[in-house]
Amino acid sequence: MRVAVVGATGLVGQMMLKVLGERDFPISELLLVASERSVGKQIQYQDKNYAVIGMKEAIAAKPDIALFSAGGDTSKEWAPHFASAGTTVIDNSSAWRMDPTKKLVVPEINAHALTPNDKIIANPNCSTIQLVMVLSPLHLKYQLKRIVISTYQSVSGTGSKAVQQLENELAGIDGEMAYPHPIHKNALPHCDVFMDNGYTKEEMKLAREPQKILDDRTFSVSATAVRIPTAGGHSEAVNIEFYKDFDLKEVRHILEQTAGVTVVDDPKNNRYPMPIDAHEKDDVFVGRIRRDETQRNTLNLWIVADNLRKGAATNAIQIAEYLLAKNLA
């Protein structure tokens, strides 16, 4: 397939290239696309150097698939042009996620809804993806009622500028700030911008996206998103109220049988999911599985995933693999 990676110089764009190579995605022609200031820059893929090109040149090449990770404004402007040229766009920004005319896809859950007419497909928020990977099989069995989630999110979720801020602070270097406060030895209850209702945009993504992915508006999600000084990997403390009661052994069995989910739940031996163990892995890890003793039909658990992989690049490429397998692009 002719594949364009739009935003190829960014953290997620670079991870997309890495995952494409690891998964041996069949590429007949690779187009690396970025802003005008990066045009001509050389990027290596599979021991070959590629020159970065601009948007117009990429559109004229009519790739089969364009993997977008260039920000919402860029996607809003350019994704429709790719789509009009016949390209299927898989977009990692928030630009199209809540658009009722666009599918919001986690392949293990709802890729079956895709059709050849879906020329712009939205990749969910990184924190949403790892959450719904665990919620989906439990929802089928016990029916979700309400979820309360607190996230502990890596600086890599903000981008290379935030990673550099943490590295500068660790080294005692004054540099450009991605956040309004230091992140080293700190925790910021501030992911994305604040909205009129007092929640951040990230928190509202967590509230709305799971309902769309699971195609069910009967449950609710309340979120608090926190940025912490980890270099990679997002963690989530999740409290889930169901309409139906559950058995903990059955819950563990359901999750153990879920593709893409790994259960790490042996607290007696200090085994539970941690970002350091999820690094460079595509599975979603879940542990600390226990009943909430203060409320009926309610479960507590802890979810961790590599936000640049399953939370972004890998999920997008899994969508592309599905499109290829089903001849949808």
- Judge whether 184 counts as a catalytic residue: no
Query: Is the CATH number of domain 2-124+312-325 1.10.1060.10?
Result: no
* HSE, side-chain direction, 13 A CA sphere, residue 255: 30
Task: Give residue-wise pLDDT tens across range 121-144.
Answer: 999 999 999 999 999 999 999 999
Residue 80 and residue 104 in contact, taking contact as beta carbons nearer than 8 Å: no
What's the pLDDT at 249? 98
Nearest 5 degrees, angle CA 31-CA 49-CA 163? 80
What's the pLDDT at 181? 98
- Asked, colleague to colleague, whether 2-124+312-325 and 127-307 share their fold, the answer is no
Spot the catalytic one: 112, 184, 191, 234. 234
Task: Give residue-wise pLDDT tens across range 210-239.
Answer: 999 999 999 999 999 999 999 899 999 999
pTM: 0.96
In angstroms, how far is CA 72 from the centroid of its own chain?
A: 14
Residues of the chain with pLDDT under 50: none
Strand 88-91 to 261-263 pairing: unpaired
Q: Classify burial at 26, counting beta carbons within 10 Å of its beta carbon; exposed 0-12, middle 13-18, buried 19 or more.
A: exposed
Strand 234-242 to 298-305 pairing: antiparallel
In angstroms, how far is CA 193 from the centroid of its own chain?
A: 18
Q: For residue 226, give the H/E element and its range.
A: strand 220-227
What's the pLDDT at 305? 98
- The CATH class of 127-307 is alpha beta
What's the pLDDT at 155? 96
Task: Give residue-wise pLDDT tens across range 172-182.
Answer: 999 999 999 99
Q: How far apart are the first and last CA of the chain?
A: 9
Residue 133 and residue 106 in contact, taking contact as beta carbons nearer than 8 Å: yes
3-state SS, residue 243: coil
3-state SS, residue 183: coil
Q: Classify burial at 116, counting beta carbons within 10 Å of its beta carbon; exposed 0-12, middle 13-18, buried 19 or more.
A: exposed
What's the pLDDT at 129? 98
Long-range contact set of residues 287-290: C-beta below 8 Å, sequence gap at least 24: 287/263, 289/248, 289/251, 289/252, 289/255, 289/263, 289/265, 290/248
- Judge whether 190 counts as a catalytic residue: no
Spot the catalytic one: 126, 190, 191, 253. 126
CA dihedral defined by 269, 273, 275, 281, rounded to 10 degrees? 110
Domain boundaries, the chain: 2-124+312-325, 127-307
Q: DSSP characters for 117-150? A: T--EEEPPPHHHHHHHHHHHHHHHHH-EEEEEEE
